[in-house]
């Protein structure tokens, strides 16, 4: 069916060169959309991805081994400073292969702040809506149907209803979900419309060349123009380098992700960094999870991975949502050991896990290249004034659990009872200050390391994604966000990437 | 100048100093000798050979994992298999083998730390509490892990959390554990979609693409999986 050319590691038998109109680095939600839109506009595109394509035969349902295969640093990447695991995928399709497909438009008030604080003129919701609509149609974004919610998602709705909190089914890029809850290990039902199933095949149909298992190691420049990229083929999983390649293009789009893109710029001679902002301003949506145990079976293995959410508290700094993951990953956060731990494991069929992601925009970090590695050194600190946001979120989750009928709640906090049986026991969350080390955090949404800003001295790219310093180098990943978006970022990444692609196509 | 003989007291004092130096030197030498015997013995001796050859882990790392696994998941209780019955050491061996060099080094450093940190944080029970972790009695092991778990010092808790995470991953990889909790993955008949005509399985060349246009099947129609539906092959003891 394809008229383009897809290459995998076994196809690389010697060093090679390619030419294109546009070189796109990274095949996640940013890069894949750019590649698709540019091929549709008739441009010759080479899309380069460091990870391999995964077929259903390559999926592993075991949580640990799946992470080791699909995530950078085997899923063990974490920040320094405030220690927090953070996951970035290494696969064709990027994070869309292993995320839970949540799609939210950035809230109006967030985009207004972006425009006001970062001198952006065309990034309001009205400006982005056409792009949101177009990519939403492309990847089938729609609310999760009730018949695949499963009880653990519907209990969240019931709890919110009982308290009068707003809640809604999560919109996802999914067609034909069967409720297997396996989003994190690869959708065996082929229902999730990840980039490897949607935009990459579209780009191939449009004539793109897709190089997988190919790591870009530097962007080449001539004066104020990028001329292409160089890199090496790398073996899947081991990362063992083999043949070298060079791809020349009239424009280069970096969409390697918020961690890898700044590292690539730093390793290319500190490129595009007259502002000094490359790798700085790192923000996350740090997340906390809370487990509730119900008197009756919840059968949590059935249901959409993340099917319901509440945006009731967005302006207070957090969003609440349901969550499921491979049981092994959920068990990681159960307290205790020995027979006590086993008793809690036996509660899992009666349990639901819900989480909160927080907008901690005072908590900043940076991404720096390591000398002999392409893995970044990530430093980030949870700001003391952001800690109460997370404590408040945990309290609200406990409140929803008890309103939904939970008999106990496990908050997962150091220095706090392992298990509480009433909301009154959660009251200390509202009065006692928490230290960052008391929280078990996870942060998979990362932003701002190549942020957009209208002022070239304060940002790396303009609001269309073009680098202020180089006229034909563009960036299209979550690094361009000027501040965290308060909601799951994938749809916004795709919308901004589409806008970037159209702006770039118009200039070629 | 006429040569002056050293006073008798000074000569004696020199001899005493020499004796002390020889004594300290001898003690130091003996200590180093003991250390040279004790250190390799502590690090390497007495670890049982595994039944199945491991991929990357040493027999002492497997012993540490078995000991930790059985403290975290003892036999009996609400979920029957113990850590070793659930093959935690073998699983972690696979996981470490799949990791990249830096992560592999970190995980192995973690195992070594837990095994030998009893010298810094001994188990209760007097001198026997200084033995390496895998040589401690079960109640001493529990006490040592509780020390890591409840420490007021965040890095110590992080060690426990990391270790328990690895063991929990292994425990939940065991089909018997998942079956007993009714958390085994469902059997899903994966549709063949257009993208499957583009990609070979990992490791194969493009010639290894498994499907052609004639293999395409209708996409998922969104029929929910049945709660009591069949489990994935490999997890089902027998068809339900």
User: Does residue B239 surpass a pLDDT of 50?
Assistant: no
Q: Which tens digit of pLDDT belongs to each residue from A83-119?
A: 999 999 999 999 999 999 999 999 999 999 999 999 9
CB contact under 8 A, B95 and A440: no
- A140 lies within 8 A of chain B by CB: no
Q: How far is A317 from chain B (nearest CA, A)?
A: 26
Q: Which long-range contacts link B178-183 to residues 24+ away (Cβ below 8 Å)?
A: B178/A327, B178/B235, B179/B231, B179/B235, B179/B236, B179/B237, B180/B79, B180/B80, B180/B81, B181/A327, B181/A345, B181/A346, B181/A348, B181/A349, B181/B79, B182/A299, B182/A301, B182/A349, B183/A300, B183/A301, B183/A327, B183/A348, B183/A349
At residue A2 the predicted structure's pLDDT band, cuts being 50, 70 and 90, is low
Mean pLDDT of B71-84: 93
Q: How is residue A70 annotated by DSSP?
A: H
* Cβ–Cβ below 8 Å for B77 and A342: yes
Smallest Cβ distance to B71: which of A76, A175, A338?
A338
Region A320-344: mean pLDDT is 87
| Higher pLDDT pick, B181 / B11 | B181
Chain A hits for B171, Cβ within 8 Å: 328, 331
Indicate the SS3 state at residue A252: strand
Q: Please name the residues in contact with B72: beta carbons below 8 A apart, sequence gap of 6 or more.
A: A337, A338, A341, B83, B145, B164, B167, B168, B171
Pick the residue from chain B with its C-alpha nearest to A302: B227
Distance from CA of B64 to the nearest CA of A (A): 16
Nearest CA in chain B to A297: B182
Phi and psi torsions of A308, nearest 5°: -135, 150
- Residue B133: CB atoms within 10 Å: 22
Which two tokens mark B136? 């401690």
Min Cα distance A102 → chain B (Å) is 17
Nearest CA in chain A to B223: A178
**Contact call for A339 and B169, based on CB within 8 A:** no
pLDDT band at A70 (very low <50, low <70, confident <90, very high): very high
Residue A375 has pLDDT above 70, yes or no: yes
Asked if A53 and B203 count as a contact pair (C-beta separation under 8 A), the reply is no
pLDDT of residue B240: 38
Task: Tell whether A10 lies on the interface with B, counting CB pairs under 8 A.
Answer: yes
Residue B28 in contact with residue B102, Cβ under 8 Å?
Answer: no
pLDDT of residue B209: 93
Q: What is the pLDDT of residue A242?
A: 97
A 351-390 → B contacts, CB under 8 A: 373, 375
A4 and B CB contact within 8 Å = no
Bridge-based pairing of strands A351-358 and A287-293 is: antiparallel
pLDDT at A56: 92
Strands A241-254 and A16-25: parallel
Of A327, A338, A348, the CB nearest to B142: A338
The answer to whether the CB of B194 falls within 8 A of the CB of B135 is: no
- Dist CA B20 CA A113 (whole Å): 77
Confidence band of B47 (pLDDT split at 50, 70, 90)? confident
- Classify residue B3 by burial, with Cβ atoms within 10 Å: 0-12, 13-18, 19+: exposed
| Burial environment of residue B56 by CB neighbours within 10 A (0 to 12, 13 to 18, 19 or more) | middle
Torsion, CA A238, CA A242, CA A246, CA A251, rounded to 10: -10
Q: Reduce the DSSP state of residue A240 to 3 states and report it.
A: coil
According to DSSP, the residues that pair with A379 across neighbouring strands are: A80, A366
Alpha-carbon Rg for chain A, nearest whole angstrom, is 22
Residues of B in contact with A92 (CB under 8 A): 199
Tell me the pLDDT band of B202, cut-offs 50, 70 and 90: very high
Residue A1 has pLDDT above 60, yes or no: no
Subunit contact A1:B198, Cβ cutoff 8 A? yes
- Closest chain A residue to B145 measured between Cα atoms? A337
To the nearest whole Å, the CA of A451 is away from the closest chain B CA by 30
Please give the pLDDT value at position B2: 56
Condensed to tens digits (0 to 9), the pLDDT of residues A76-88 reads 999 999 999 999 9
For residue B90, pLDDT over 60 is answered with yes
Q: List the single best residue of A71, A326, A341 to mutate versus B (max B Cβ within 10 A).
A: A341
Mean predicted confidence (pLDDT) in B6-33:
83
pLDDT at B11: 77
Residue A301 has pLDDT above 50, yes or no: yes
B chain contacts of residue A178, beta-carbon cutoff 8 Å: 188, 220, 222-225
pLDDT in tens, B172-187: 999 999 999 989 999 9
Tokens of B206: 């493009």
Please compute the mean of the pLDDT values over residues A15-33 and round it to a whole number: 98
Option in B72, B157, B206 nearest A414 (CB): B157
Q: Which residues contact A435 (CB under 8 A, 6 or more apart)?
A: A387
Q: Quick check: A136 pLDDT over 70? A: yes
pLDDT at A245 over 80: yes
pLDDT at position A468 is 98
Tokens for A400, please give them. 């929803």
- The whole-angstrom distance between B47's CA and the closest CA on chain A is 24
Question: Over 80: is that where the pLDDT of B125 sits?
Answer: yes
- Percent above pLDDT 70 for chain A: 100
The CA distance from A86 to the nearest CA of chain B, in Å, is 14
A200 touches chain B (CB under 8 A): yes
Question: A373 CA to chain B: closest CA distance, Å?
Answer: 10
User: What pTM was computed for the model?
Assistant: 0.92
Average of per-residue pLDDT values in chain B: 89
* Residue B120 Cα, gap to closest chain A Cα (Å): 22
Contact A148 B224 (CB under 8 A): yes
Cα separation, B36 vs B214, in Å, equals 70
* C-alpha triplet A333, A334, A336: angle, nearest 5°: 125
Pick from B195, B201, B225: CB nearest A58: B201
The verdict on a CB contact (< 8 Å) between B220 and A92 is no
Percentage, residues of chain A above pLDDT 90 = 92
Q: Which residues of B touch A299 (CB under 8 A)?
A: 182, 227
The A residues from 71 to 110 touching B (CB cutoff 8 Å) are: 73-74, 76, 83, 92
pLDDT grade, residue B6 (50/70/90)?
Answer: low
What is d(CA B130, CA B164) in angstroms, rounded to the nearest whole number? 22
Residue B214 pLDDT: 96
């Amino acid at each position: 069916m394809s008229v383009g050319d897809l290459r995998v590691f076994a196809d690389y038998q010697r060093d090679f060169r390619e030419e294109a109109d546009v070189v796109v680095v990274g095949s996640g939600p940013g890069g894949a959309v750019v590649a698709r839109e540019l091929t549709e506009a008739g441009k010759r595109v080479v899309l380069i991805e460091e990870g391999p394509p995964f077929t259903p035969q390559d999926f592993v349902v075991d949580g640990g081994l799946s992470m080791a295969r699909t995530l950078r640093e085997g899923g063990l990447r974490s920040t320094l400073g405030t220690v927090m695991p953070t996951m970035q995928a290494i696969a064709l399709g990027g994070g869309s292969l292993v995320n839970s497909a949540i799609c939210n438009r950035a809230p109006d008030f967030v985009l207004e702040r972006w425009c006001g604080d970062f001198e952006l003129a065309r990034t309001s919701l009205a400006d982005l809506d056409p792009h949101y609509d177009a990519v939403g149609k492309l990847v089938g974004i729609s609310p999760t149907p009730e018949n695949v919610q499963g009880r653990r998602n519907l209990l969240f709705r019931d709890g919110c209803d009982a308290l009068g909190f707003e809640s809604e089914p999560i919109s996802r890029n999914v067609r034909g979900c069967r409720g297997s809850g396996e989003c994190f290990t690869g959708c065996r039902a082929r229902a999730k419309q990840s980039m490897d199933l949607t935009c990459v095949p579209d780009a191939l149909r449009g004539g793109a060349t897709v190089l997988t298992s190919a790591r870009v190691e530097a962007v080449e420049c001539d004066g104020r123009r990028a001329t292409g990229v160089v890199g090496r083929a790398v073996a899947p999983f081991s990362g063992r380098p083999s043949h070298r390649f060079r791809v020349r293009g009239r424009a280069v789009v970096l969409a390697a992700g918020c961690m890898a893109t700044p590292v690539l710029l730093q390793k290319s001679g500190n490129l595009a960094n007259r502002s000094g902002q490359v790798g700085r301003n790192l923000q996350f949506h740090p997340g906390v999870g809370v487990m509730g145990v119900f008197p009756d079976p919840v059968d949590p293995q059935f249901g959409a991975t993340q099917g319901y959410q509440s945006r009731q508290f967005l302006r207070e700094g957090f969003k609440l949502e349901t969550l499921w993951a491979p049981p092994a990953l959920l068990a990681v956060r159960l307290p205790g050991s020995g027979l006590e731990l086993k008793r809690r494991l036996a509660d899992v069929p009666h349990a639901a896990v819900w989480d909160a992601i927080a907008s901690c925009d005072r908590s900043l970090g940076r991404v720096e290249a390591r000398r002999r590695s392409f893995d970044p050194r990530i430093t980030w600190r949870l700001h003391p004034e952001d800690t109460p946001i997370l404590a408040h979120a945990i309290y609200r989750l406990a409140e929803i659990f008890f309103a939904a009928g939970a008999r106990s709640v496990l908050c997962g906090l150091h220095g706090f009872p392992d298990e509480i049986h009433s909301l009154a026991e959660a009251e200390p969350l509202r009065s006692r200050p928490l230290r960052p080390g008391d929280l078990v955090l996870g942060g998979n949404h990362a932003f701002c390391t190549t942020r957009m800003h209208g002022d070239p001295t304060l940002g790396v790219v303009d609001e269309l994604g073009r680098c202020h310093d180089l006229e034909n180098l563009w960036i299209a990943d979550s690094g361009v966000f000027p501040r965290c978006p308060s909601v799951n970022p994938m749809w916004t990444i795709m919308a901004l990437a589409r806008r970037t692609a159209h702006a770039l196509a118009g200039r070629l | 100048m006429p040569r002056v003989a050293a006073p008798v007291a000074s000569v004696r004092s020199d001899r005493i100093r020499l004796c002390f130096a020889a004594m300290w030197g001898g003690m130091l030498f003996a200590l180093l000798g003991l250390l040279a015997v004790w250190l390799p013995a502590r690090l390497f001796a007495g670890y049982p050979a595994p039944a199945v050859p491991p991929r990357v882990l040493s027999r002492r790392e497997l012993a540490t994992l078995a000991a930790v696994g059985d403290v975290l998941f003892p036999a009996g209780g609400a979920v029957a298999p113990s850590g070793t019955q659930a093959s935690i050491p073998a699983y972690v061996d696979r996981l470490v083998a799949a990791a990249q060099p830096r992560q592999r080094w970190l995980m192995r450093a973690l195992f070594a730390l837990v095994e030998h940190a009893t010298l810094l944080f001994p188990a209760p029970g007097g001198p026997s509490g200084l033995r390496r972790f895998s040589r401690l009695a079960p109640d001493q092991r529990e006490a040592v892990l509780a020390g890591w778990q409840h420490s007021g010092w965040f890095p110590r808790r992080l060690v426990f959390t990391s270790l328990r995470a690895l063991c929990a991953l292994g425990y939940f990889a065991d089909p018997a554990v998942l079956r007993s909790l009714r958390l085994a993955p469902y059997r899903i008949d994966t549709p063949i979609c257009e993208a499957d005509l583009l990609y070979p399985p990992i490791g194969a060349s493009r010639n290894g693409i498994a499907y052609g246009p004639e293999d395409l099947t209708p996409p998922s129609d969104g029929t929910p999986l049945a709660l009591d539906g069949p489990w994935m092959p490999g997890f089902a003891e027998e068809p339900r």
